[in-house]
Amino acid sequence: MNRAAGDRRAFPPAVAAQLVKLACELPDAAGRSLSLWTCSELARSLVRDGLVETISPQSVQRILLSQKLKPWRVHYWLSPKAPRDEAFRATVLDLCDLYKRALSPHERVLCLDEMTSLQPRPRDSETRPALPGLKPVLLEHTYARKGATNLLAAFDTRTGEVTGICRQRKRQLEFIELLDVLDRKFDPSVTLIHLVCDNVSMHRGKLTRAWLERHPRFRMHFTPVHCSWMNQVEQWFSILRRKRLKAPNFVDVADLISKIASFISEWNEIAHPFAWTPKSFNKILAKVDAALAAAA
């Protein structure tokens, strides 16, 4: 059998242990200029370091899988810069309460955020639709850059309805424009409007605070730092990206803005809330409780 195609030899436990140890290090630490390990590169390193005379990538994979180890995979994470303390726990519980409890007739809960630098990316040729015979949609590879816009949007957590505006810039002034739209939209009988936002400066700036003082029915709730997933409008943004912005081919910025507005209108025809329950927060609350217990 061609050993390069894969061998089934049982390598000594010491070799397997060295392989696992190597796979649990980043390639740079092992003197290899690689971003991630692959089975072929691990096999090459074992041979180069004289640990084995020869070993196939398939044997490397078999040994690694026996340890449930896949060093070629990447999972992005973000080291917390805000302490998981009582203040963090209180903020999470506040959002949990806003999302799950029954609202009074005079209350609304809206999640606000921005999608930035949306580009029209017009193509040299028209996009061609799919055809029978497993013919996919054809999207011209090359595109032109013709400016960009920013979408500022609010998602109603109980109805799923979206309110959005597109603006060239993303500042307090544009954020206040969205707030003005919301103020006109809701009847005066709605006397308490909860706004869930992240911690960027445009949501906390002097102009925004002054506007909120003049409109006391609006009350701000800020998500914890680096917890954008707690803002429900992010879920809707992912729908917009997938259904309208996945293969951008708009004539210009004006066309892009028009198509986004149409998408919002079509969404609002079938708008629905997302299913958030206390379970949505249980995992992170468990981590907070563990951290508090360890600090006690």
Question: How far does CA 236 lie from the centroid of its chain?
Answer: 11
Instruction: Say what the pLDDT of residue 279 is.
Output: 83
For the stretch 236-262, pLDDT in tens is 999 999 999 998 999 999 999 999 999
How high does pLDDT run on average in the chain? 91
Q: Side chain identity at 137, as an amino acid letter?
A: V
3-state secondary structure of 290: helix
The fold of the 86-291 domain, in CATH, is Nucleotidyltransferase; domain 5 (3.30.420)
Average pLDDT over residues 3-25: 78
For the stretch 87-140, pLDDT in tens is 888 999 999 999 999 999 999 999 999 999 999 999 989 889 999 998 999 999
Q: pLDDT exceeding 90 applies to what percent of the chain?
A: 75
Q: Side chain identity at 53, as an amino acid letter?
A: E
Which residues, 6+ apart, have CB-to-CB distance to 71 below 8 Å?
Answer: 23, 24, 36, 37, 42, 64
The DSSP symbol for 64 reads H
Instruction: Say what the pLDDT of residue 81 is.
Output: 63
Instruction: Say what the pLDDT of residue 86 is.
Output: 85
Question: How far does CA 254 lie from the centroid of its chain?
Answer: 26
Q: Where are the alpha helices (DSSP H) in 139-200?
A: 172-185
Surface-to-core class of residue 23, CB atoms within 10 Å of its CB (0-12 exposed, 13-18 middle, 19+ buried): buried
Residues of the chain with CATH 3.30.420.10: 86-291
Q: What is the pTM of this model?
A: 0.79
For the stretch 134-152, pLDDT in tens is 899 999 999 999 999 999 9
For the stretch 39-85, pLDDT in tens is 999 999 999 999 999 999 999 999 999 999 999 999 877 666 667 78
Sheet of strand 192-197, all strands in order from the earlier edge strand to the far edge:
162-167, 149-156, 107-118, 192-197, 218-222
